[in-house]
Structure 1
Amino acid sequence: MLALLSLPFICSWFGQVSSSLTPFVLHERRSRSPSGWVLERKHDASAVLPLRFGLTQSNIQNLEEYLYDISDPDSSNFGKHWTPLEVAKTFAPSAESVKVVHEWLIDNGIPKDRLRITPSQGWIEVDATVEEAEHLILADYYVYKHESGQEHIACNEYHLPQHVAPHVEIVTPSVHFDAIIRPTPMNRDTALMKTDITVVNTTYLGVGHCDTQISIDCLRALYDFDYTPIASGRNSYGIVEYTPQSFRQSDMDLFFTNYSISELIGRPPYQVSIDGGYQQTFNQSFDYVGESHLDLQYGMGLVTSKLNVTLYQVGDTVNPNTSFNNFLDALDGSYCNYEGGDDPTVDAIYPDTQAGGYDGPSACGTTKPAAVISTSYGYNEADLTPFYATRQCNEYAKLGLMGVTILYSSGDSGVAGNGQVCLNDDGSQSVNGTRFNPSFPGSCPYVTSVGATQIAAGNSVDDPEVAAARVTASGVFYSGGGFSNVFGIPNYQKDAVATYIKNFKTDNFTTSAYNSSGNSRGFPDVAVNGAAYVVAAEGEFILEWGTSASSPTMGSIIAMINDARLAIGKSTIGFINPTIYSTLFQEAFNDIRSGNNPGCGTEGFTAASGWDPLTGLGTPNFERLKELWLALP
């Protein structure tokens, strides 16, 4: 890992003048370069940067309060979701922020005609030379090179005048580095959740063999989940995939034929293309279809043909930076400009001028979000700066305000991060690290994080499940879980976390291995079976493991609860965490009390009575949950 160069604190005369009579203060600092990046050279002073100043959002300090007001089952406003317009108006930057930043830039040598203020007034941008940018924010810009050959422009830290800093949330490009979404097989290091696979020659074995092969019928039996939609015209369920992940209709038909769901044969999901997303056909091997097939075959099969599943297909095949932010832009037009908009050093920017790239404009408020959205991809929390993660986490809260349930898989590496990397004492990541490495977005308190369970060998669907665990020659799979190093503990989780930390005892690691303060977000929130799912791919049946299976299954359950509420004239349930952690809802989950989630040279956390950081509150009982949610306003 390359150590960062220290920033010179000797300011030029121009830099001192640019403070506008107030001293400069540190705004953001990166502790070190992410793994795989090497400093190449000082950036050319005459090169031009797309400098962007994201303005502070109004009322952002009240975001959690607003969300709880409509999500807490004891609130008189439960279920009274906001419109997109209400969300946009509430969090728009103040006129004062626009004025202060605009005047500061003009006072310090940037001509007015070079400044652009977005229509939403969410950010101010200027094409500035490196020399101008360095003087404005007291930073040194360097060119970094990734081991893949990709180059990146960044500084180690930057500063703003004291009177300007409160009005700016982020400056780009600056300290942020790429975090690329790219699915790969089990035994390859990447930034994504991974799924283990095994090819099997058998087909459907029935519910008598759910300990070795999970099917749709196994899941229905496990979670008392037998429901036919009746309000599908008002309901919606979305699953997110990132190109080049794709699906093959012939495999989809093979799966639905095997499970006698004839109504879905020949029927693809309803596809929404975002930023050029499409079903590529240049490679349809398992590496390119495994995730989509797992998500769609079970997501569609569980909600039946009576509810159309929306597939959000995101990104073209040549841009490596397609990110969660690109997807979120399409759902919420205000997010395109929120706190500076997309970061060109982290997110994909469209039009994509590369050969074969998507040359249309970035998707911005182009599609209505589904009532439930499941995503089986994720980063390590340490891959991103705290601000970048917080900015995205706040958008999930905004979607919650609009009545959307957001589900993310919790990870497949136990207490370690993707690629089995752990944290070192200096914050870097390596396979030899000793500190636990939480995942993101599962660690965001405004999403529902889904861990994985399994049926123990020789047991049936009537026996208690255990935390998922699988060790093979190609790798390991343990349900991801732990405690965030970025996000504080949400109110809805305080009692559950306090109880676990008080009772948790271990002799295989110390409290220094994780954030044991009791004041940080714990995850996952719930768990669903994630072991040995039978999936059709490449014309045959294979078994897949992973929390990638658990999240879309949980999404199907929530979608059907929404259907039951909509059928009697009630709202969708939206952000579910305050409700599921309430005392009343504890009885609707099957407590998991066996198993652990090893990683970082330890045995990880241990399942326990009540909530724990590997299976959350436990697995869902659909009928109990439906009855309880139907009783709410």
Structure 2
Amino acid sequence: MKYSSVWTAFALAASVVAVPSRRTDFRIKESVAIPRRWVKRDSAPRDLHINLRFALPQSNFPLLEQLLYEVSDPSHESYGAHLSQAEVNELIAPHPESVRQVKAWLASYGLREEDMSCSPAEDWIKVKVPIGLAEEMLDTEYHMWDHPEGDSFVLATAYSLPEYLHEHVELVQPTTLFSRLRSMKTTLHFAPSGASSAAVANAPPIAVPSASNGQVDASCNSTITISCIRQLYNAANYTPLADTGNQIAVTGYMEQFASFSDLQTFFAEQVPSAVNSSFQVVSINGGQNDQSMLGSGEANLDTQFAFGLAHPIPPTFYSTGGSPPFIPDELTVNNTNEPYLEWVEFVLQHPNPPTTISTSYGDDEQSVPTSYATRVCSLFAQLGARGVTLIFSSGDSGVGDGNPDPATQECFANDGTNQTRFLPAFPASCPYVTAVGGTVQIPEVAVNFSGGGFSNIFSQPAYQSQQVENFLKTLPNGTYAGLFNASGRAYPDVSAQAVNFSIVFEGEPAGVSGTSCASPTFAGLVALLNDARLRNGMPSLGFLNPMLYALNGAGFNDITSGNNPGCGTPGFNATVGWDPVTGLGTPSFGKLKDLIGITD
């Protein structure tokens, strides 16, 4: 063990007295303002069953965070000494008194020990109960809530707990989470005619000094392929191995299925060496990958590019179930607006999770209660401490809300004031993940939809403070005053190409754009870097950000042109150094490989 087990001191008066009556001294634990455009419908059926999750305080999370930064900092003596699953669980286990008090309270409602399922560290307790009982336990009311774009959830705008339980419970869900998960994909279109594509392909190569062999095929300025990415990001001549223990994964939500047949067509066209290879499908919460149904642009994009770039590194597609619309007459909640909990809890229980995982989904940060965002972000930190690199798309709405059309964005703070504010994205705003923005063209410029900005929930981590300060000095005094939180966690961290990716969809060539393209692209390159480390007896990179910012631009192509408009403004500008449009820039695999200690 790298540390001695220390329990955080708890002022637990309840530990020496009997458990109070379950119906006395209730006090509101959490309440939220109703987000714009959500409409309350009927009361939820009282016999409808939901899975209530109780998050118990993690006893030593500050120490876990400290160790995460130490094992992720290349200047620290513990760099790369990732924690084991058992070490992480010991650090985040709640105080036994919290477990006792919560279980005793649940038992007072007739719930037996076998009705309660716990995470390995017992920091989560889950029970399946009818709505009527949940309303009694939480002194609340559940209703059906509808969003005009089709989402429908069972939610409460506030809930309460007995006074004595407040110090033992951080949050309860599903309650106040008006989150609308969406893929970060702006467009999907079918490919142009072969004649026009051939004309571009016959043009002379584009000179790019940082690229492999100093040039990139001219066709890459109209269509991005695996070859384009490898050329542009200086990885054309690298071949990974299949047996180093390295793994790569992408996540799928909202019944987004990845087609095996489309993958084979894609491989035949772009990665011939990968033909007849496939990926493992892992089902979470009833997630499927039904091949009798049409595949999806999002899942096909993620699997084709991440796994195509990383082949033959073993790939996994996580299919997490639960998606709207809710069907009330089934008397069970099959949908969920909290899929990250389902997914990350599952992966944390795996003794050997993939070393690189890409997610191209997100939501407006303000739709996520602070308690929920903080807890989910802490789960991401646990994976990072174990040597897993988590990569998220930064969003497709510039500095605005989830609407990719800047002209129709509604950038209002969800705090009752209706003040205009830039709207950051979550989970991209979590300081324990790597957020990837988007670029376009060769030579590269920032693409105008690249999500970026500053969190209103998470404070700015020390690893990026100098680069962010340098950027803020470039803004004229008063620029966007009151529209963003300059002391918040700033994102994206890096960027990659995000426009006109050539995939196969329903057996036909199609083009996709969005930071959904950038995330699996960057993930594929990280998987190659992990391959280089593992085959040389070094540990995986794990949480990237402290290392990336310590490099201070080395190993990256600085993007200095373009902006990300939104909320009726031009947004931020890409500039020299880090910026909230393209981060530190786009990767140069060859340079990064040398910088992480691997030489040919």
Q: Same fold (TM over 0.5)?
A: yes
1:233 pairs, out of 238, 244, 251, with 244
Checking the alignment, whether the CA contact within 8 Å between 2:323 and 2:336 is kept in structure 1 is: no
The equivalent residue for 1:605 is: 572
Give 2:313's aligned amino acid.
L
* Aligned residue among 453, 472, 483 for 2:454: 483
Q: Which amino acid aligns with 1:600?
A: C
1:536-585 CA deviation, whole Å, 9 max, x = no partner?
22333222211111111111111111111111111001001000001x35
Structure 1 residue 440: Cα displacement: 1.2
Deviation of the 1:395 alpha carbon: 0.9
Q: Superposition pairs for residues 165-244 of structure 1, below 5 Å?
A: 165-177=166-178, 179-181=179-181, 193-202=185-194, 205=201, 207-226=217-236, 227-230=238-241, 232-242=243-253, 244=255
Alignment of 1:421-500 (within 5 A): 421-427=409-415, 434-455=420-441, 461=442, 463=443, 465-469=444-448, 478-500=449-471
- C-alpha change, 1:87 and 1:17, in structure 2 (3 Å) is closer
Query: Does 2:46 match 1:40?
Result: no
Distance 1:222 1:114, change over 3 A: closer
> What residue identity is the alignment partner of 2:457?
V
| Root mean square deviation of aligned Cα | 3.2
Is residue 488–residue 521 contact of structure 1 (8 Å, CA) maintained in 2?
yes
CA distance in 2, matches of 1:451, 1:576: 15
> CA 1:272–1:175 in structure 2 vs 1: closer, same or farther (change >3 Å)?
closer
**Separation (CA, whole Å) in 2 of partners of 1:46 and 1:568:** 58
Q: Secondary structure at the match of 1:167?
A: coil
Distance 1:534 1:506 in 2: 43
Letter in 1 for 2:189: I
Deviation at 1:314, TM superposition (A): 2.6
1:384 maps to which residue?
A: 368
Going from structure 1 to structure 2, the CA distance change for 1:498 and 1:51 (only over 3 Å counts) comes to same
Residues in 1 aligned to 2:435 and 2:572: alpha-carbon distance in whole angstroms = 17
Matched, 1:320 2:335: yes
1:580 aligned to which of 542, 548, 551: 548
Report the alpha carbon displacement of residue 309 of structure 1 after superposing the two structures with TM: 2.0
Native 8 Å contact 2:260 2:291 kept in 1: no
Deviations 1:99-134 (A, max 9, x none): 34455667xx64685895545543556777878766
Residue 220 of structure 1 and its aligned partner are, at CA, apart by: 1.8
SS in 2 for 1:503: coil
Q: Which amino acid aligns with 2:571?
A: G
Q: How far is the alpha carbon of 1:482 from its aligned partner?
A: 0.8
Query: Does the CA-based 8 Å contact 1:143-1:151 persist in structure 2?
Result: no
Q: Residue type of the partner of 1:396?
A: F
Q: TM-score of the superposition, structure 2-length normalised?
A: 0.82
CA distance in 2, matches of 1:523, 1:397: 17
Q: Retained in 2: the 8 A contact 1:196–1:546?
A: no
State the secondary structure of the residue aligned to 1:512: coil
Match of 2:301 in 1: 294
SS for the counterpart of 1:564 is helix
Distance of 2:521 and 2:133 partners within structure 1? 52
- Secondary structure of the residue aligned to 2:143 is strand
User: Map of 1:507-522 to 2, 5 A cutoff?
Assistant: 510-515=480-485, 518-522=486-490
Instruction: Note the 1:325-340 alignment, pairs <5 A.
Output: 325-333=341-349
Instruction: Using the TM superposition, give the Cα deviation of residue 176 of structure 1 relative to its aligned residue in structure 2, in angstroms.
Output: 3.0
Are 1:488 and 1:520, in contact at CA under 8 Å, matched by a contact in 2?
A: yes
CA–CA distance in structure 2, aligned partners of residues 390 and 468 of structure 1: 30
Unaligned runs of 5+ in 2: 1-19, 203-216, 325-333
What's 1:13 paired with?
A: none
Please give the secondary structure, in 1, of the residue aligned with 2:458. strand
Change (3 A) 1:240 1:140: closer
Cα-to-partner distance string for 1:441-466 (whole Å, 9 max, x where unaligned) = 111111000001112xxxxx5x3x11
The structure 2 residue matched to 1:614, chosen from 581, 584, 587, is 581
User: Are the structure 2 counterparts of residues 576 and 44 from structure 1 closer, same or farther at C-alpha, using a change threshold of 3 Å?
Assistant: closer
Separation in 1 of the partners of 2:162 and 2:596? 50
SS class of match (1:536): strand
Q: Secondary structure at the match of 1:604?
A: coil
Distance verdict in 2 for CA 1:124–1:267, change over 3 Å: closer
**Cα distance between partner residues in 1 of 2:476 and 2:422:** 17
**Residue 598 and residue 132 in structure 1: after superposition, are their counterparts in 2 closer, same or farther (change >3 A)?**
same
1:501-540 matches, cutoff 5 A: 501-505=472-476, 510-515=480-485, 518-540=486-508
Contact 2:188 2:510 in 1 (8 A): no
Q: 1:467 to 1:506 in 2, by over 3 A?
A: farther
Distance 2:346 2:53 in 1: 20
**C-alpha distance in 1 between matches for 2:363 and 2:399:** 14
Report the Cα distance in structure 2 between the residues aligned to 1:321 and 1:131, rounded to whole angstroms.
Answer: 19
Deviation at 1:160, TM superposition (A): 3.8
1:382 Cα deviation (Å)? Answer: 2.1
**Percent of residue pairs identical:** 36
Local SS of the residue matching 1:166: coil
Partner in structure 1 of residue 591 of structure 2: 624
Aligned to 1:308: 314
Secondary structure of the structure 1 residue equivalent to 2:159: strand
Look up the SS of the partner of 2:554 in the other structure.
helix
Contact 1:415 / 1:436 at 8 angstroms: preserved in 2? yes
Residue of structure 2 in register with 1:403 after alignment:
387
User: Structure 2 CA distance, aligned partners of 1:129 and 1:321?
Assistant: 16
> How far off its partner does 1:90 sit?
1.5
Give the distance between the partners of 1:404 and 1:47, measured in 2 at CA.
37
Aligned equivalents of 1:133, 1:321: Cα separation in 2: 17
- Would the aligned equivalents of 1:409 and 1:450 in 2 still touch at CA under 8 Å? yes
**Structure 2 residue 516 is the aligned partner of structure 1 residue 545:** no
Structure 1 residue aligned with 2:285:
275
Could you say which residue in structure 2 is the equivalent of 1:358? Answer: none
SS at match of 2:301: helix
Kept in 2, the 8 Å contact 1:273–1:312? The answer is yes
CA distance in structure 2 between the aligned counterparts of 1:103 and 1:598, rounded to whole angstroms: 52
How far does residue 18 in structure 1 lie from its aligned partner after superposition? 5.5
Does residue 63 (structure 1) correspond to residue 70 (structure 2)? The answer is no
Corresponding letter in the other structure for 2:300: H
Aligned pair in 2 of structure 1 residues 448, 127: CA closer, same or farther (>3 Å)? closer
| Cα offset, 1:312, TM superposition | 2.0
Is the contact between residue 372 and residue 404 of structure 1 (CA under 8 Å) also seen in structure 2?
yes
Is 1:568 the counterpart of 2:560 in the alignment?
no
What are the Cα deviations for residues 274-293 of structure 1, in whole angstroms up to 9, with x where unaligned? 33333324542xxx421122
TM-score (norm 1): 0.78
| Cα distance change, pair 263–243 in 1 and its aligned pair in 2 (3 A) | farther
Q: Say if 1:232 and 1:563, in contact at 8 Å, map to a contact too.
A: no
Would the alpha carbon gap of residues 225 and 585 (structure 1) be closer, same or farther in structure 2, given more than 3 Å must change? farther
Distance 2:106 2:266 in 1: 59
Contact 1:115 1:125 in 2 (8 A): no
How has the CA–CA distance of structure 1 residues 110 and 532 changed in structure 2, closer, same or farther, with 3 Å as cutoff? closer
Q: Tell me which amino acid in the other structure corresponds to 2:467.
A: A
Shift of 1:223: 1.2
CA distance in structure 2 between the aligned counterparts of 1:221 and 1:39, rounded to whole angstroms = 53
Q: Which amino acid aligns with 2:412?
A: N
Aligned counterparts of 1:423 and 1:290: Cα–Cα separation in 2? 28
Match of 1:349 in 2: none
Q: Which amino acid aligns with 2:235?
A: F
1:262/1:370 CA distance change after superposition, 3 Å: same
Does the 8 Å CA contact 1:100/1:164 hold for their aligned counterparts?
yes
